[in-house]
Structure formats: structure tokens, C-alpha cells
Amino acid sequence: MQFWSLSNYGTTSRLPNGWHKVDAAFLSQLWQQPEVLPVDESCSAERMLHTRLVNDPALEVERTDIEAIGDPDARENYTIALGFRDRLIKAKTIEAYYLSLFRSGNVTEPAVLIDLLTRTIAHSIVINDRDAYTARTAELLFREQRVTIQNGAVLLGDLKTVRRLGSTAGMGSLGALITMSGTQPNKLVMDVLSDENTEQYWQRSHSFDFILDLTYGKTGINSFSRVLESWITHFLEIEVKIQPVQEINDDYWVWHIGLDAEATALLNDLYNDDIVEDDRMERLLSLYRLDFKDPGIMRSDITGRPIYLGLCMTKDGRVRLKPQNLLVNLPLASDI
């Protein structure tokens, strides 16, 4: 099944553990990124190099091929993309490179390239589910969201889609009227994903134009929990249980992980009993409790204790998930 415009997904080779080989099918996606697609002003050298890479995504490129490109921005883009590609090839699997990149603590790859990896991995962990809620919540792994709090409901819309529709006064199909933050004076009509329109999601998944209701107690937040569980299992081959909670009421709170930069800072301050302003608390969107199904793989000093997760929005109402935090910050007894 194809969704999110991943036309080459079905041909990407996978290992028995589900990890993706860095093969021509995957690398071909790299050369379809807007940053390296020729434009009207592209010179013949750039067009020729792009054609060669489309035909052979792992082609060894000489420095002279790059220097022959007239536009300096295009030269830089190709240099970055080729370096990224070569490091991927050396790692042999997408997941191995992703883990090594974030475990190193020296992340220099552009976000757009990391998102390409994340999107492919996210696709693989939801493809067999065929559940629209699961797929929509998995979008949070690689696409930034715009948040609106409406009558107590936590509503997330894809940031790029909101900006696109807001700038053109675009109107979606009939659905709930959502006034997304930052889009005034235009009002956007976007569908909130519900049991009645899940089939429409698959027809329009490439548009990223469904609103996700991440309110506590709703299907969306529970599906998000399942996606996070699958993300951890896919990489680390361990099983965890994640469930939404409304508060952290734990006298023995020992470990937490922020799912984004804002949440990390907030949870740190709450853990340390530092003063937290009301406006920061209001940006807390959701909390979760993570438990290991096998506590024996945890650090011995906190074996069996729950791990708390948090998700926040920024001051301007955005959410940029950092799913790598779940892979590098779990209190494991040893590296997996």
C-alpha cells in the first residue's frame, strides 16, 4: 500500500528485522527532493548530473562534476546531498545510520534529509495497520504541526498545509471549521479525522490535510501512543507500553523524556521543582507513561519505575517532534 507519496517504498529491500537496506530504490528518492531538482535556470552541467544520478542513484561523482555547476547554491546542495548519500551507503541500513547519527550527538545533516529517513521508517511501522488514525499520528514523526486549542480540544494541522491554504485562502472539503493559529484573516476549512472519513484519508494522504484531534481520551492520542511504541520496537527490538496520562502524580518520579525541545525543558523544571510560569504549563499538550514489558533491560537503579513523556507546543503554536529522543534517552542497562 502506498501513501504519503512514497512510490518507491514497496521496492526497498528490508532485512529480517525490518530494517531498510540503503539500495537504489531508496536512494532514488534523494534525487527527487526539491533541493536538487533542476529548475528553469539550471545549467546543462547540473541537468546532466541530475539525470545521471536518477539513472544510477549510487553513482560516484567527481569533484569536477560539482564544480561544473554554475549556481553556487546548487553546488552546495549537491555537495550536501552526496555526502549524506555516501554516509548512508557506508552505514548499509537507514536505521543504523539514523541511530549512529543521533547517538553521536553531532547532528549536522539538514532536517529535510533526516525527515526523508524518518518518513520511510514511519511508513514501514504503520503500513500493515491500515488504520488512518495510526498513519495520521505517524506524520508527527517527520512533519511539523500547527496547534489550535478549541473548546478544550487539542487540534493539530500540518504546518506546511496550513501555511499553503492560509496564503491562498484555500478551502478544503466540508468539515469542521478550524481557525488555525497564524492564518488570520483567512479561515481554513479542514477535515478533522474521524471514524466517518477515514477512507478519505488514504485518498488524500499525500496532501497532509487532515486535522488530528490529540485530546486526552480521544482515538488520536491513543493511536499516537501505539506509534511511539512501534517506533521504539522497530529500532531497539524491545517492547514497551505507552499510555496517555493527565498528570504526573508520582512521589518517586525518576525519569522523563521530552518528545520535543519545549517538553524537555518543561519536564526538567517540573522534576527539579523549579518555578514554571502559567503560560509554559498551558503549552503542555499531553503526558504519557511508558513502562517496559521486561523491566530487566532497564538500569538496575530504576528497574520497574515508569518513564514519563511530554509533548509541548512552542510560543507560536508549533510542534516539532524529536522521535530520536525515545531512542537515545531511554534508561537501558546497556546499549542495544
The pLDDT assigned to 164 comes to 86
- pLDDT of residue 153 exceeding 90, the answer is yes
- Measured over the CA atoms of residue 94, residue 96, residue 102 and residue 108, the dihedral's sign is negative
- pLDDT of residue 27 exceeding 50, the answer is yes
- pLDDT of residue 152 exceeding 60, the answer is yes
pLDDT, tens digit, for every residue of 9-21?
Answer: 556 789 999 999 9
- pLDDT of residue 294 exceeding 50, the answer is yes
- Closest of 284, 288, 305, 282 to residue 245, by C-alpha: 288
pLDDT, tens digit, for every residue of 57-94?
Answer: 999 999 999 999 999 999 999 999 999 999 999 999 99
- pLDDT of residue 336 exceeding 70, the answer is no
Per the DSSP assignment, residues forming a β-bridge with 318 are: 146
Give the pLDDT band (50/70/90) at residue 171.
very low
One-letter identity of residue 160: K
- pLDDT of residue 174 exceeding 50, the answer is no
pLDDT, tens digit, for every residue of 242-277?
Answer: 999 999 999 999 999 999 999 999 999 999 999 999
Give every CB contact of residue 205 below 8 A, 6+ residues apart in sequence: 3, 4, 5, 135
pLDDT, tens digit, for every residue of 177-193?
Answer: 454 444 444 556 789 99
The mean pLDDT of the chain is 91
- pLDDT of residue 135 exceeding 90, the answer is yes
Bridge-based pairing of strands 307-312 and 256-258 is parallel
The pLDDT assigned to 6 comes to 60
Give the pLDDT band (50/70/90) at residue 170.
very low
Greatest Cα pair distance, the chain, in angstroms, is 66
- The arithmetic mean of pLDDT across residues 144-157, rounded, is 94
Cα 42 from Cα 290, distance rounded (Å):
50
Bridge-based pairing of strands 188-189 and 191-192 is unpaired
- The arithmetic mean of pLDDT across residues 232-240, rounded, is 97
